[in-house]
Structure 1
Amino acid sequence: MSLEQDIQQEKFNSEHEKAALNIIFTSGWLRHINLGRLKPYDITPEQFNVLRILRGSHPKTMMLADITSRMLDKSSNATRLVEKLRQKGLVNRVICENNRRQVDISITDKGLAVLKKIDGEEKEWLDQISTITKAEAQELNRILDKLRA
Structure 2
Amino acid sequence: MSIETDIKQGTPFKSPYHRAMVNVLYTSNWIANQQAQLLKPSGLTLQQYNVLRILRGQHPSPVKVSDITERMLDKMSNASRLVDKLVLKDLVLRTECPSDRRAVDVIITDAGLTLLKQLDEGIEGLNEEMNDKLTTDEAAKLSELLDRLRA
TM-score tier (shorter): over 0.9
Name the residue aligned to 2:139: 137
Is 2:6 the partner of 1:6?
yes
- Residues 97 and 30 of structure 1: is their aligned pair in 2 closer, same or farther, counting only changes over 3 Å? same
- TM-score, normalised with respect to structure 1: 0.96
Name the residue aligned to 1:72: 73
Is 2:121 the partner of 1:120?
yes
Select the structure that is richer in strand.
2
Name the residue aligned to 2:20: 19
Root mean square deviation, CA, Å: 1.1
Q: Following TM superposition, where does structure 1 have runs of at least 4 consecutive aligned residues deviating by more than 4 angstroms?
A: none
Q: 138-147 vs 9-18, which deviates more?
A: 9-18
The one-letter code of the counterpart of 1:142 is E
Q: CA deviation at 1:100?
A: 2.4
- TM-score, normalised with respect to structure 2: 0.94
Unmatched 5+ residue regions in structure 1? none
The one-letter code of the counterpart of 1:7 is I
1:70-109 C-alpha deviation (Å, 9 max, x unpaired): 1111111101100000000000001134532111100000
How many percent of aligned residue pairs carry the same amino acid? 47
The one-letter code of the counterpart of 1:80 is R
Is 2:60 the partner of 1:59?
yes
The one-letter code of the counterpart of 2:28 is S
The alignment of Structure 1 onto Structure 2 pairs a total of residues equal to 149
CA distance in 1, matches of 2:42, 2:125: 16
CA distance in 1, matches of 2:123, 2:65: 27
Preserved contact between residue 90 and residue 107 of structure 1 (Cα < 8 Å): yes
CA distance in 2, matches of 1:121, 1:31: 14
Name the residue aligned to 1:49: 50
The one-letter code of the counterpart of 2:65 is L
Preserved contact between residue 37 and residue 125 of structure 1 (Cα < 8 Å): no
